[in-house]
């Protein structure tokens, strides 16, 4: 048996294996796509809790501001010049980023598999 015949036999065997496994792979990718979409929706549900944490952080910051500046008791958060640091804002807004990313990945996986079947 020469090299050309061996390569031909190998390629025919891999074609058959690929045909048998392509449907399993398609269903697996479809299942992972659905899982990513559900994960993204679940992560979005965590965002209202993060909004409460932002409000609490602002209230604590304003409380410290009033303690350090007793003459400025009537100032609200916006007029006091206070702000949320960027790392805190990133931490509080992380569910939006992760949820959106997960949903985009999931939709992409589902769409590619559905378009391959059509």
Q: What is the pLDDT along the chain (118 residues), one digit of tens a residue?
A: 677 777 777 767 666 665 656 666 788 889 999 999 999 999 999 999 999 999 999 999 999 988 888 887 788 888 888 888 999 999 999 999 999 999 999 999 999 888 877 6
Strands in 1-118 per DSSP E? none
Two tokens, residue 28: 């697996």
> CA–CA separation, 96 vs 46, rounded Å?
9
Closest CA to 25 of 114, 105, 113: 113
Please report, for the chain, the start and end positions of each structural domain, with discontinuous segments joined by +.
3-117
CA atoms within 13 Å, Cβ hemisphere of 112: 13
Q: Furthest-apart CA pair in the chain: how many Å?
A: 96
């Amino acid at each position: 048996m020469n090299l050309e015949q061996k390569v031909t036999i190998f390629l025919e065997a891999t074609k058959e294996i690929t045909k048998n496994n392509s449907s399993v792979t398609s269903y697996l990718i479809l299942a992972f796509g659905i899982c990513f979409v559900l994960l993204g929706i679940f992560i979005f549900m965590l965002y209202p809790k993060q909004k409460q944490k932002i409000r609490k952080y602002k209230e604590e910051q304003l409380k410290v501001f009033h303690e350090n500046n007793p003459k400025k008791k009537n100032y609200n958060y916006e007029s006091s010049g206070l702000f949320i640091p960027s790392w805190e804002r990133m931490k509080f807004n992380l569910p939006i980023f992760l949820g959106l990313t997960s949903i985009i990945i999931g939709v992409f996986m589902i769409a590619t598999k559905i378009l391959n079947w059509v």
